[in-house]
Structure 1
Amino acid sequence: MSTQPRTEADSPAESRADRSFNRSMLVKLVVVACLMFGFGFALVPMYRAICQITGINNLVQRDATAREAKNTQVDMSRTVSIEFDANARGPLGFKPEQHSLDVHPGEVTTVMYEVSNEQARIVKAQAIPSYAPKVATEYFRKIECFCFTQQTLQANETKRMPVVFVVDPKLPKDVKTITLSYTFFELNTPAPATDAATQQTGATAAGAVRNPA
């Protein structure tokens, strides 16, 4: 099979084809980059929409009706026992300052939680609440809560954080006890540390091989 020599006449055409291909690839890469950038911004409203549909949004944001609940009449004829629980995922110490409390529906109550960063580095974390029984979720109104925002703890820092809440008087009469449980999740994970000592040892060993005594 014979090959024809490449002529100078072919070069401009091939060059134009190459430039056209490069432009096409550049446009595609720009489009992909824009789509990825836009998708990153779309995650926030998508997350909010999912939360609104599933009701998860009520767990980590200030209750819209908390102010109204705060102004309701206290039902002194009834007592609800609130139990407090705490869990941590990551290098955090986390606990409530009291494990249970009896409240009257409609009564504004404040409890404190303590979280401590047990690492010699900054830790960012988010607390997610849960309730038992599940029916109590819509009647437990959080007015102020550390779970509304991400928390940043400096190295070896300890914080006391309040939860201000009201139990809605409309809570079903058969619910006598509500368990409020928080789980703290670390949001930032430490970047892989460069093993400088290993690199230095390797460099020293390589130098010794190149320059034997």
Structure 2
Amino acid sequence: MSTQPPAQADRSFNRSMLIKLFVVALMMFGFGFALVPMYRAICQITGINNLVQRDATVREAKNTQVDMSRTISIELDANARGPLGFKPEQRSLDVHPGEVTTVMYEVSNEQARSIQAQAIPSYAPKQATEYFKKIECFCFTQQTLKANETKRMPVVFVVDPKLPKDVKTITLSYTFFELNTPATAKVGSAALPAETGATAANPA
């Protein structure tokens, strides 16, 4: 019974590992690319956090009665997945229910190539979701960022005066995903943690 020489066995092992890493990288790329479409489909079915429709029209917002007797603290959070710098221009503010408010976020493409990205909103506490009405938001559409480009993007919103009285604070959080990450980059990133122990850092 013949056996493979050590050098040939090593080459076979390396080739097998390379194929496995490539398959894993393709799976990671496919899953990452599918996140936003999957989220949009779920939103369309459930009606929660819809990315493609405004939560309230401008006319409805302007006609909303402002409740000056209440003050709601709005906390702003930002997270990024991919080569993006992403942050709110202010961390918190106080608003009155029914008051139309604008806040600004800043996103930066930190790579020397153009990218497509999509922001996904979330809220805390969960019960506040249906009362936080976005009139304008960068999350409604995919964003194209040129190489090393920085954008300032507004969110115009109003808190429904019907918000339960026990809710004093609402946290608005966005996560920005890059949509067109090259598969070759995924291969490199898949190998990086095992070889160097590096971990990805999220911008504040």
Counterparts of 1:57-206 in structure 2, within 5 Å, are 58-64=50-56, 67-190=59-182, 192=184
**Aligned equivalents of 2:184 and 2:40: distance in 1?**
32
**Aligned equivalents of 2:49 and 2:59: distance in 1?**
17
Task: Note the residue ranges of structure 1 that are not aligned, 5 or more in a row.
Answer: 1-43, 194-213
**Aligned equivalents of 1:66 and 1:140: distance in 2?**
14
The percent identity for this pair of structures is 92
Alpha carbons 1:61, 1:147 under 8 Å: kept: no
Asked which structure has the greater RCO (Cα within 8 Å, sep 6+), the reply is 2
Alpha carbons 1:141, 1:166 under 8 Å: kept: yes
**Aligned equivalents of 2:39 and 2:63: distance in 1?**
32
**Aligned equivalents of 2:76 and 2:52: distance in 1?**
17
The superposition leaves residues 16-51 of structure 1 with CA deviations (integer Å, 9 ceiling, x where unpaired) of: xxxxxxxxxxxxxxxxxxxxxxxxxxxx8x986643
| TM-score calculated relative to the size of structure 1 | 0.65
Alpha carbons 1:110, 1:165 under 8 Å: kept: yes
**Aligned equivalents of 1:191 and 1:150: distance in 2?**
20
Q: Tell me which structure has the larger Cα radius of gyration.
A: 1
Letter in 2 for 1:181: S
Task: Note the residue ranges of structure 2 that are not aligned, 5 or more in a row.
Answer: 1-36, 186-204
Alpha carbons 2:56, 2:134 under 8 Å: kept: no
